[in-house]
Structure 1
Amino acid sequence: MIILATFLLIVLFIVFGTLSRKLDVSISLAVGALIYGAVAFGASLWKVSISAFNESMAYILASLIFAMALGFLLKEKGYKIASGLSALGPRAAAFLIPAAIGLLPMPGGAYVSAVVVDPLYEKMGLDRNEKTFLNYWMRHIWISIWPLFQGVLITSAVLGVSVWQVVEWAWPAALFAVVAGVAMGTPLVTNVAIVGRPRDLLALWPLVTVAALSFTIPLPLAVASVYLTYVVVYKVPRVQIIASFKYALNPRILSVIVFSLVFAQYIKESGLSTQLAELLSGYSAFAIFFIPFAVGLATGIEFTFAGLAFPPISPLIHGPALALAFTGGFLGVMLSPAHSCLVLTCEYYGCESARVYKLLLKAAVLVVVLSIAYYMLVFYYR
């Protein structure tokens, strides 16, 4: 119980410390994670910490660095991507641009979509907080159903079913996310005088190529290959290459990723998820939602709730209940101040965290209402 109580207090510390603006998320996350680790492992803290610096961390960091560097270079072509998708209508493009780029499972990928969609949002008169919300939310609507996301693959392995079975069970979670994003975003976007050219969709080739390569080679290699190809094709000058990596190697952002993964390792090694499952064993629906939510909120990483929270509740989520579990994990990750996409988007637009959270919480409440209605319909009135 000490570990569980410590975890809950640490989550509150990270969230409220960040929202109060008195602590940067990179600091609150690092301090919180280390305090939790010290309580959970004592003298073994160093050994457990070292174990977090593994192949998975290298994979994520490499993907993030090249994704951010590619996003930096895409600034110059961003207007063409926006133009191509705007051919479907500017209001539709306001949602479709981050959603389309969201099909790429790149850590920090919301930075790429923020760069691309910014000119359109600017013309629509969105303020910095509205830009942050809309880009950030729509970038993540695919978490529960897109096979390239690690969470879907992990869930398939945990439950012992095919990826497409996971999609069949979890699709309502994605639908609720879309409905909430559109409901919250529609009053914000306006029809502006912008003429999109369908042929400009060709500017999406770097993103489409990354997605295609991701099916055949590791994501870091896919993103790095496209980055190098982009440099060669457009003859990017050395000064721009250096600038792209200078941005990508931002110590603050890298700190958030590293300590998120360290915290996830602490949660895994301490058996916290199992403790939560045992504590909530008599409240199955709440456990299905809350355990993934708590893990997602603490770590801010899309796939950790699948790897850490789903195994102890796996007997409960074979079937439509998986949508509720994914909804909990999705909302936890989306509300986590440690989520690198939120940190990057907020930094790019210069947002005010508290105001963005007001929008996020409104969307989250709508998702919860839809999830409760779905769960009751499926399990109580069938």
Structure 2
Amino acid sequence: MQQAILFQKKNSIFPDLDEDQLLEDLFKAYFDARKNKRNTINALKFELNLEENIFSLFEEIISGKYTLKPSICFVVNKPVKREIFAADFRDRVVHHLVYNYISPIFERKFINDAYSCRQGKGVHYGIKRTEHFIRSCSLNYHQNCYILKVDIKSYFMSINKKLLFDLTISEIKKEKDRKRGDLGFSFLLVKELLRVIIFSDPTKNCIIKGKRKDWNGLPKGKSLFSAENGCGLPIGNLTSQLFGNVYLNKLDHFIKNELKIKYYGRYVDDMLIVHQDKHYLKRVAFEIKNYLARESFLSLHPKKTYLQESSKGVIYLGLIIKPYRKYISKRIKNNFYDAVFNKKGNEKIKETVNSYLGIMSHCNSYNLKQKHQHSFRRAILELHGCVYP
């Protein structure tokens, strides 16, 4: 192995690269990428000749010849209809490599109340914080307050690639200067990999899985095939999840630091603000709209802006949040029924249904949960060919 590494050093185009460290990091990225993916065909093929594939990928990367392989494109209908681009497994390894390098940098820059795709955050944390915002602003529901909820129109398909690249590199450079050049990885290498990942066009040479009619009913603003030139990120990649937070990080700090909003949270592009003054929230919505257009080339969805009294409740992150109680939304209920009754023969049904039962454990849904547990037992018995009594 050592001879192979020494041989490859002759081909490196990155003067700040520690190749031994890169090779070690690639193996770590592989083990990260195979979590929950080990039994997929692409992962098994990669693992069959693991060392050969890792060294081949290593050689491509250090020589600056790394390019993305075609993605698999398909449409899913749950929880909402959306277009997915699944990267080849070797590219997933590179995604994890880049993510492992740069996510700690951005994690320190993100606000606490950016919830999506972050360790220790997520949906349940976002719901918990939303309840805290409403309770604090309303003095534990003893006075009235208002909730503003806004959503960005076609967010991932509207992300400007050049702006995203510039924002990402700028923040990494700041960290490099702060640490006097010691990032723990090659800045030049990561810059090149970010260029390849961000500016790639997954629609070119992609493998379509399913039928063209699967795209019927999918809005143009939700498809990369309809995205403007130089815009759009594929939903489904680990890096896209991180970039989604990076792109809106400046907006988060604008809202918190310049607008001085105390009760603000964001999950991907779904933003929520709580305040005692209804008219003030209208002005805030106007400020956010202008900032997005001016700084990020984005716009708010005109049909997804809500402003209402907290006493009437709010639907956020799949739950209906009301004073002293929470209920699961109609969409979550329907998805559960679909998971139980329309996936017969799917061995993952137990895992799927348990995830919904986990959501219900955070709600005031005892009767509904009992009903679901009954349906779950029936579905499992039917799955194994048994007759439910």
Greater strand share, structure number: 2
Q: What TM-score, normalized by structure 1, do the two folds share?
A: 0.22
Q: What TM-score, normalized by structure 2, do the two folds share?
A: 0.22
Mark the structure with the bigger radius of gyration: 2
